[in-house]
Structure 1
Amino acid sequence: MTRESLIAGTRTREVSTLDVMRLLAAQAVMFYHLVFLSWAESPDSHGIRAVVGDPAAFPGAIGWASTGWIGVQIFFVISGFVILMSAENKSASAFLIGRVTRIAPGLWFFTLLSAAIVLARGVLAPGELSVRVLRSMVLFPAGPWVDGAVWTLVAEALFYAAVLVLIRMDMIRRITPVLVAVSAFNVLFWGAVLAGEAGALGHAGHGLAQAASSYKLRVTLVSTNCYFAAGASLYQLFMRRNPQVHAALFAVNFLAGLIATFYAARSSLGVSGFGQTPFAAVGLWGAATLVMSACVLRRVGAGGRFARFATVAGLLTYPLYLINQITGGFLLGVAYRSGLSPAPAVIVAAALCTLLAGLFALGIERRLQKALARFLKQQFQRRAPALQEA
């Protein structure tokens, strides 16, 4: 075992809390879909509501279930930490291969599974479905896709692209100035948004405030980069690099994250359609992020047993995130039609989603990843001599 792999293994155990938090975030998103969106979403959206068929409503659960989408924002913070950690001591090609092999097999597998379910349920015509499948498979920035969760993967891919550029420019170890620039942008951007909200910037200011929660600004990282930057600053704190500077940068981006979560909440269905307060989501995201950060900095859960559990939890997270909306909605509909009452039906659907995610992660995904990694490495090796000759 090399020194680098030994260090990487030690760091993985020290931050095993992040794997558990990722699984909890995925569970939050799953129950948001199964308990809230499965009946609150419009059937015309061709998503989980249409796949379920004849849903049961959970009006008493709106207060907590409608905020489960914040699991996505928690994912973004964790990505900022983990991707920065994984990028160290990596070449650009190694980083690119690692990210593609991590994301693509699960995305392709569950996109095809979701497409089969949508087709079987008659939710979309084959032509429209084919276009959505193609958009999903290549992470095309503009939807709609087979599964609405794809937009978050598009945002993740843009973050990976930014990190790839930093690796090519040999700036990963000198990332502090980059984080300073990003943090300064967030101060200016969210300051302008708040000023526009208060009416200080006239008509343009009101337009900016409305755009702050738009899909275009979220997927292009304009309004979501603060989550990734908070995670990246947390990683620098974890590594004890310029702690005072990165503590300040974490604080700036944490505050920006609170504001960003408020605007995301304001446009969410729970708030816009059911009169919930946006501050509930803000408080939940802020509390979860602070608890998670404290656990990481104090190396909570670095013990062997917890680390092994966290490893399994981490493997489950990505496939569970991909399976819970369309496939989960289909399983929920089957449970309803089999005669189960609403609460047991949700529990059964959630359990089956978790089981299927585990079977894929532990039995199929690694084989697909290894095969794809071998193919990509061969392609890079074939191109290397040609590039050197050129």
Structure 2
Amino acid sequence: MRVLDLLRFCAAFSVVLFHYGQTRAWGTPNAFPALSAVTMFGVYGVRMFFMISGFVILMSAWGRTPGEFAASRISRLYPAYWASVIVLGALAVMGFITDHRPTLSELLANLTMLQHGFRVRDLEIVYWTLWQELIFYALIAVFAAIGITYRRCLAFLGGWLVLLAIAERVNADLLQAVLVPFSAPYFIAGMALYLVHRFGGSLFPWLFVGAGWAVALVQVLGANSAVVQRFGQAFGSALLVGVISLIFLVMIVVALGAFDEIDWRWLTVLGALTYPLYLFHHHIGYLLIGWWHGPLGRWPTLALVIVVVLALSYAVYRLVEVPVQRRLRAALDRSLRAGDGYLDRAG
């Protein structure tokens, strides 16, 4: 499903434009007044990421053991992430990133990707979403241990929704930490849409898509967002409903198979750029904008910085992800099989 690569890239690129339009590296809080009226919605690209994850992760976990699923996720997530921690950590330690100089313990915690659990500061602002993803992966791994089936998926989604409401009602910190309320509506809807894609559009999956949409709107309309502050309560709320609904609508069209015939191989390249772009763009862009916007001007700097971070993302993909992922996955698979040989000898 190459269209998902395109959607992932669009979501990441919208986050890039949001950060570059808002960064204080320009020396002014609103360097692009007209453009920022559009790029400010890029922050909602993260929601698209979460919904795509719900769809793709259920698809990738189906029929796999928890160990196989964990090996696939570790080999996918960690190589580029480790590269970003090393590079950005080095820049921070050398003083190029001045907002915070991390300690050794902070760097080590960030290397694990578990820093949120240890209440350690993220080295990069975008890392917070990875914690949400990790919790989701853990839930899916437990589900895979039980055995993923269509009816169990429905029970899983129903239980998640009910527990979300209970956790909010009683303010249960443990439940909220496990159920990731911010991203849960999108994970739930994405999983339900995968059921629609795989098994057809029967009523139960559509009910969960609708429930995810409703909960997502309750969340965004209940927050004091920048969109409402800029456009006013009535129009801003309408815009938020439109943006969230558009995200759901696009994924619904994907689930119904409207884009199944799209087989443009270059979309896979865009998909490969997505994760490194997301990890590296913020601080690297901040530095380059600070250095270049004075002599070059705003618009040339914005265009050049985007080109540079895209080139950097491709380099990380080719030089880090391609070789390291393959070796790491092979090593993890061998590790999973190590106990099998011991049991055979013992027998």
Which of the five TM-score ranges fits, normalised by the shorter chain?
0.7 to 0.9
Question: Which of 331, 341, 358 is 2:288 aligned to?
Answer: 331
State the match for 2:3 in structure 1: 17
* Runs of 5+ unmatched residues, structure 2: none
Question: What residue identity is the alignment partner of 1:71?
Answer: G
CA-to-aligned-CA distance 1:101-149 (integer Å, 9 cap, x gap)? 00000110011111122233152675x3433322321122234111011
Give the direction of change, closer, same or farther, for the CA distance of 1:184–1:124 in structure 2 (3 Å limit): closer
State the match for 1:123 in structure 2: 98
Residues 1-12 of structure 1: matches in 2 within 5 Å?
none
Distance in 2, Cα, partners of 1:334 & 1:276:
36
Conserved? CA contact 1:155–1:218, under 8 Å: no
State the match for 2:306 in structure 1: 350
Distance in 1, Cα, partners of 2:19 & 2:182:
23
Q: Does 1:183 align with 2:174?
A: no
Conserved? CA contact 2:189–2:213, under 8 Å: yes
State the match for 2:196 in structure 1: 237
Residues 360-375 of structure 1: matches in 2 within 5 Å?
360-375=316-331
TM-score with structure 2 setting the length: 0.86
**Per-residue deviation at 1:380?**
2.3
Residues 221-300 of structure 1: matches in 2 within 5 Å?
221-241=180-200, 243-263=202-222, 265-266=223-224, 270=226, 279=237, 280-300=239-259
Query: Which SS does the other structure have where 1:68 is aligned?
Result: helix
Residues 213-224 of structure 1: matches in 2 within 5 Å?
217=176, 221-224=180-183
Conserved? CA contact 2:227–2:240, under 8 Å: no
Distance in 1, Cα, partners of 2:321 & 2:231:
41
Query: Which SS does the other structure have where 1:149 is aligned?
Result: helix
**Per-residue deviation at 1:346?**
1.2
Conserved? CA contact 2:8–2:271, under 8 Å: yes
Give percent identity, aligned residues only.
24
Question: Which of 310, 315, 318 is 2:275 aligned to?
Answer: 318
**Per-residue deviation at 1:172?**
4.3
Query: Which SS does the other structure have where 1:303 is aligned?
Result: coil
Question: What residue identity is the alignment partner of 1:285?
Answer: I
CA-to-aligned-CA distance 1:55-85 (integer Å, 9 cap, x gap)? 6742514422223111111100000000000
**Per-residue deviation at 1:386?**
5.5
Distance in 1, Cα, partners of 2:107 & 2:3:
34
**Per-residue deviation at 1:344?**
1.7
Question: What residue identity is the alignment partner of 2:8?
Answer: R
Residues 99-248 of structure 1: matches in 2 within 5 Å?
99-120=73-94, 121=96, 123=98, 128-139=102-113, 140-141=115-116, 142-173=119-150, 174-186=152-164, 217=176, 221-241=180-200, 243-248=202-207
Alignment root-mean-square deviation, CA = 2.9
**Per-residue deviation at 1:369?**
0.5
Distance in 1, Cα, partners of 2:241 & 2:103:
35
State the match for 1:7 in structure 2: none
CA-to-aligned-CA distance 1:214-256 (integer Å, 9 cap, x gap)? 9x95885133211100000000001125621111111111111
Distance in 2, Cα, partners of 1:225 & 1:29:
20
Question: Which of 49, 52, 55 is 1:75 aligned to?
Answer: 49
State the match for 2:31 in structure 1: 58
Question: What residue identity is the alignment partner of 2:143?
Answer: L
TM-score with structure 1 setting the length: 0.77
Question: What residue identity is the alignment partner of 1:115?
Answer: G
Q: Does 1:378 align with 2:337?
A: no
Give the direction of change, closer, same or farther, for the CA distance of 1:272–1:254 in structure 2 (3 Å limit): closer
**Per-residue deviation at 1:95?**
0.6
**Per-residue deviation at 1:375?**
2.2
Give the direction of change, closer, same or farther, for the CA distance of 1:217–1:347 in structure 2 (3 Å limit): farther
CA-to-aligned-CA distance 1:270-324 (integer Å, 9 cap, x gap)? 35986876533442122122123213313315233x2x12211211111111011
**Per-residue deviation at 1:373?**
1.4
Distance in 1, Cα, partners of 2:245 & 2:110:
31
Conserved? CA contact 1:16–1:302, under 8 Å: no
Give the direction of change, closer, same or farther, for the CA distance of 1:260–1:241 in structure 2 (3 Å limit): same
Give the direction of change, closer, same or farther, for the CA distance of 1:218–1:53 in structure 2 (3 Å limit): farther
Give the direction of change, closer, same or farther, for the CA distance of 1:288–1:222 in structure 2 (3 Å limit): closer
Question: What residue identity is the alignment partner of 1:328?
Answer: G
Distance in 1, Cα, partners of 2:127 & 2:144:
25
**Comparing 273-282 with 57-66, which one deviates more in the overlay?**
273-282
Distance in 2, Cα, partners of 1:100 & 1:384:
21
